[in-house]
Amino acid sequence: MCKYNVGIVGATGVVGRELLLLIEERNFPLKNLKLFASEKSIGKSIDFRERLYPIEVINRKSLAHCDFVFGCASNEIGKKTAEILKDFSSIFIDNSSAFRYEQNIPLVIPEINGHKIESGTRIIANPNCTAIILAVALWPIHKSFGIERVIVSTYQAVSGAGQEAMQELENQVVQYSKNEPLSINVFPEQILFNVQSHNSAVGENGFNGEEQKVIIEVKKIFSYPDLKISATCIRVPVLRAHVESVNIEVKEKCSVEEILDVLKNTSGVKIINDPANNDFPSSLKASYQNLVLVGRVRKDLSSSDCGFHLLIAGDQLRKGAALNALQIAENIIGLKSEVKVQGCLS
């Protein structure tokens, strides 16, 4: 089996570190590894497979000879990385939103549209975490019965805002237990014991940035620009794994049992749907899991025979970010799908 030179931009962040764990867990065919972060991390190193890898700053010399580069940083850093890599043959898989809306750049969830990765593709956009979790659960239903309308309300973990957000929640727990004032730096107000609107900027249409991403990206991933979809995104005091309450309307009449049967035979999905024991998807059940959990599938009593409710949960650091990016690379080298390349990358 060929082995590959891999670079991770933003290796010290929560997604970068999760990607390293998954490279180990999934035994990705790694030849050499290069880790990149901001200048403030220079001099630091990360332990991987009993070896210390120094943190580097991205430039032409440091990025040269990478087969795959994973972007786990900001839009600005993503664009800078892509600009450097345009002179190389590297494949750049970017987790930021910098390239998601560009028509000529594929926005990929391998289980749904891995075929969008064509020979010669050099930049691939990894979708928004909330959109990935939603799309993985809805795509098999859409393929079987056709979805006309989606209304989703999300309950998003703080890790979606990065390591500092996770630390802020943990700090507030300790401060509250000591009856100390709570430090507030990342979120606009206290996150402990609080549920608040997602902290992305609100646009002129009243939707915040996260909601806009879900709406636009699911349409692009499904190649379904006329999909009626609306979203409300909320932050909750949970460390990791997003939960989504979803209402859908399908074109073809079907039953709860038929939807469950479709989902049971879907790669990347796990059914947790036990009404008798009130056992359904939750953030804790989804944490550190690679599958998207689906349950509470039921008829929408306020709608026609084509309306249904679902509860979805997924670890946004895994399938919502690092895992999906790694699966894209696996698809390209033919490890996990029919998408193959001839020989090794240069």
User: How far is Cα 127 from Cα 113, in angstroms, rounded to an integer?
Assistant: 12
Q: What letter would DSSP give residue 116?
A: G
User: How far is Cα 76 from Cα 64, in angstroms, rounded to an integer?
Assistant: 20
> In the Cβ-directed half-sphere of 154, how many Cα atoms lie within 13 Å?
31
User: How far is Cα 107 from Cα 98, in angstroms, rounded to an integer?
Assistant: 11
Catalytic residues: 129, 242
Rounded to a whole number of angstroms, the CA Rg of the chain reads 20
- Helical (H) or strand (E) element with 7: strand 4-9
- Which phi and psi (to 5°) does residue 153 adopt? -120, 125
- Which phi and psi (to 5°) does residue 147 adopt? -105, 125
CB burial readout 265-303, b (16+ within 10 A) else e: ebebbbbbbeeeeeebbbbebbbebbbbbbbbbeeeeee
The encoded tokens of residue 92 equal 């750049």
Q: Are 246 and 205 spatial neighbours (Cβ–Cβ below 8 Å)? A: no
306: left (phi over 0), alpha (psi -120 to 50) or beta: alpha
